[in-house]
């Protein structure tokens, strides 16, 4: 499997290492020419979603990636990657808005940015993911998933709230599995 890791900002090196540990071949997506390579799956790492969204547009990557996602390319997203995919995003003050121009808006969930606190509020726990118990989960300035479409499947929870979802070709986590390998 060839996983293209978005490498414009954030924890892309850790995401690539995670996929290599799973036996995948990885390469970084930094510019439009990188999309000419064969890609079986896209990985969207944690980082700063606003910066990632701006760079996706500035580098001409936004529309080609959105088209591939909408056509069914498998996507695995973490933290900021989840925010990029969400249909609706609440800001830190709880206001909700659809931001189709900045983010992909293709995953039928609402997320709240920085819901688990700032950097100093980061923490680790264990939970069940894809039915597997005792999976380590690292939350770093993580968003929360506040609403999930009935068509989406919740894959993990923390304190009763969804922390990972799957919908069609998209799997997305609020926490960082790439930091637990």
Catalytic pick among 87, 90, 173, 176: 176
Report the distance separating Cα 121 and Cα 85, nearest Å.
24
Indicate if 57 belongs to the active site: no
- DSSP 8-state symbol, 146: E
Catalytic pick among 79, 87, 90, 173: 79
End-to-end CA distance of the chain: 19
Indicate if 90 belongs to the active site: no
Spatial contact of 156 and 128, defined as CB atoms under 8 Å apart: yes
Is the sign of the CA dihedral 171, 18, 14, 126 positive or negative?
Answer: positive
Catalytic pick among 87, 90, 173, 178: 178
Indicate if 173 belongs to the active site: no
In the chain, alpha helices (H): 12-21, 49-58, 62-71, 80-85
What strand order describes the sheet that includes 86-90?
96-97, 86-90, 107-112, 144-148
Enumerate the active-site residues.
79, 176, 178
């Amino acid at each position: 499997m060839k996983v293209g890791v978005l490498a414009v900002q954030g924890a892309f090196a850790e995401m690539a290492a995670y996929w290599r540990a799973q036996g995948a071949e990885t390469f970084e997506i930094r510019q439009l020419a990188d999309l000419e390579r064969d890609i079986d799956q896209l990985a969207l790492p944690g980082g700063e979603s606003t910066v990632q969204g701006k760079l996706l547009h500035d580098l001409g990557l936004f529309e080609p990636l959105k088209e591939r996602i909408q056509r069914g390319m498998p996507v695995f997203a973490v933290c900021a990657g989840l925010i990029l995919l969400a249909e609706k995003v609440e800001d830190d003050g709880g206001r909700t808005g659809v931001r189709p121009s900045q983010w992909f808006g293709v995953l039928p969930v609402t997320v709240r940015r920085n819901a688990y606190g700032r950097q100093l509020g980061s923490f680790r726990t264990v939970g069940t993911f894809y039915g597997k118990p005792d999976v380590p989960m690292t939350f770093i300035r993580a968003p929360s998933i506040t609403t999930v479409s009935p068509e989406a499947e919740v894959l993990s929870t923390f304190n009763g709230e969804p922390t990972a979802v799957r919908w069609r070709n998209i799997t997305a986590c609020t926490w960082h599995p790439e930091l637990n390998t």
